[in-house]
Structure 1
């Protein structure tokens, strides 16, 4: 139409031949107002032709919150799981005319409050929060939830004859470390295996090799390492190679939450792939108060390569 600048309600009102108030009633789908079908269609057509966009701040003031959902992702939780979760959350929110804002790093209460004060989000979520709060897994969690994925890792080693297994852990404070370890221990118990050993594989490379050497010297019966994630698994692989151990002949290694670069290692890393897109979509619907019926978590799967 040759005009510049933001299109306003007045522009839409003028183009559709109705009052500004009527345009507002139509565009906000106000249930308290009765607008004829013809008038409604005329307003919507004019708005579309002009390229009118609802002003988010004004709508937030009317609705009491913005159409923004905030997701906090703690450091160390960036992986395939979080990427697929964010993808599902973002797409589901978009389908319901909402936006996603992702914040990486520790969710400091003061910083979170600033976000609340600034944009008045519809909801504030934290990836994995239910498990950070000490959630005890129900039987469904052992079928397709976080616990099931932890069990899949231990179960794959058990199927290949490994009974003495250790879990290798990160050298940084991670909010889900103890939860992951607890699920893995319970999986071992259910399989009739001894309690899992545990130790940290630190950075840099030399420190990681020293930690692996010290552990294996003290635990000569351990034949497999179940890593906290693929990053720790690859550190373990490098350490074993530096120490002259053969993988998987001497010690098997399995990762968790598949990272693409695991396939480039020598030997290529066996790992657990987790698709959390459905979980993100369920979280979006829960945040918006929409029934999530028909959506169910997808079980993880073992990506079989050469390290086990």
Structure 2
């Protein structure tokens, strides 16, 4: 095996093979507008590029265009659930239609590797949730000037706890006065779990309800059954679940404990994943327009990258409650 590496084919190599100038090759390869180059010359340049195995030099293209046409989505260390997949899929679709590539990059606590933005010349960095001050400083030190959400706070992401307020309000409106919060066991979601619990307690306080107690619910270790029995003994009739998986764990535990759903206990999930409609009894859940959120964020990124019109409102990024069999007025 040879110890030498194969030299990259350059535009000069193509120019020599075709017998034209280096500038002509550059105009053809970059499809530069306003240049009078015959179709025959274009065909010969493209054929030589294919024959010689020419690959564009990313850094040179970026310098020539002034951008890389890459949007970096920096993701938290969360499980890739239904809503997150829809969010990323829609954002990628919008960016692709505009000629941009989306790269999703997950940061993990204690990462020892250099952050990707130090190696990748991204036009825009998108944080979900918003970047902290240290990350913003790191991005700017690496030359990333377009950051969303705006670090100044003038263009924040839509709130991610609005659905929790709907869960509490729904149970209140159908007559429940003692509520509990079923928390997710995944430690990666601890911060978001705490935000939703806080939102549930604030909503309950505004409605004049008592303290909303919380238990972590895991179908694998018996905690779901213990939580349901404790709630039932305390007179809890409505459960606000972190998501649909947790709601299903609560429902399964309640049925195993001999409780009726929704007669003895009503349960409201979050995310309206496919599980919610397929579960028996079907789960009342909060539906978030995660595809709309992905579209909104992608349009914001394009606005920052090249001055396209910014989305005027977040009306398409909405949440609504889908009532199903798992919630009803309390018995009696």
> Is the TM-score greater than 0.5?
yes
Deviates more, 1:169-178 or 1:283-292: 283-292
Please name the residue that 2:5 is paired with.
none
Residue by residue over 1:89-114, the C-alpha shift from the partner in whole angstroms, topping out at 9 and shown as x without a partner, is 21122123221222346365544x34
Question: Does residue 283 of the first structure (1) align with residue 302 of the second (2)?
Answer: no
**Cα offsets for 1:262-307 (capped at 9, x unmatched):** 2222211111111122322332333340432345243222222210
Q: Secondary structure at the match of 2:197?
A: helix
Match of 2:121 in 1: 120
Report the Cα offset of residue 180 of structure 1: 1.5
1:89 aligns with 2:109: no
Which secondary structure does the structure 2 equivalent of 1:258 belong to? coil
- Which range is displaced more, 12-21 or 114-123? 12-21
Which of 254, 264, 272 aligns to 2:286? It is 272
Distance 1:17 1:180 in 2: 67
TM-score by length of 1: 0.76
Which residue is 1:20 aligned to?
Answer: 22
Among candidates 321, 324, 328, match of residue 302 of structure 1:
321
Question: Against the structure 1 CA distance between its residues 48 and 57, is the aligned structure 2 distance closer, same or farther, given a 3 Å change threshold?
Answer: same
Alpha-carbon distance in structure 2 between the residues aligned to 1:273 and 1:47: 53
Aligned pairs (5 A) from 1:57-72: 57-60=59-62, 66-72=68-74
Number of equivalences? 290
Do 1:71 and 1:124's aligned partners in 2 also have CA atoms closer than 8 Å? yes
Between 145-154 and 71-80, the greater mean CA deviation after superposition = 71-80
**Cα separation, 1, equivalents of 2:223 and 2:101:** 43
Q: Is residue 36 from structure 1 mapped to residue 52 from structure 2 by the alignment?
A: no
SS of the aligned residue for 2:181 comes to: strand
Q: Provide the rounded CA distance (Å) in 1 between the counterparts of 2:124 and 2:61.
A: 16
Structure 2: segments with no counterpart, 5+ residues: 1-7, 135-152, 328-332
How far apart, CA to CA, are the structure 2 residues paired with 1:156 and 1:46? 68
Q: Is the alpha carbon distance of 1:194 and 1:96 closer, same or farther for their aligned partners in structure 2, counting shifts above 3 Å?
A: same
Q: What does the per-residue CA deviation read over 1:142-170, in whole Å, with 9 as the maximum and x for residues that have no partner?
A: xx742432222222212211122111101
| TM-score (normalizing by structure 2) | 0.71
Q: Is the 8 A contact 1:66 1:119 kept in 2?
A: no
Tell me by how many angstroms 1:201 deviates: 0.9
3-state SS of paired residue (2:225): helix
Q: Which residue of 1 aligns with 2:144?
A: none
Structure 2 residue matching 1:211: 3-state secondary structure: helix
Q: Which moved more, 1:269-278 or 1:242-251?
A: 269-278
Computed over aligned residues only, the root mean square deviation of the Cα atoms, in angstroms, reads: 3.9
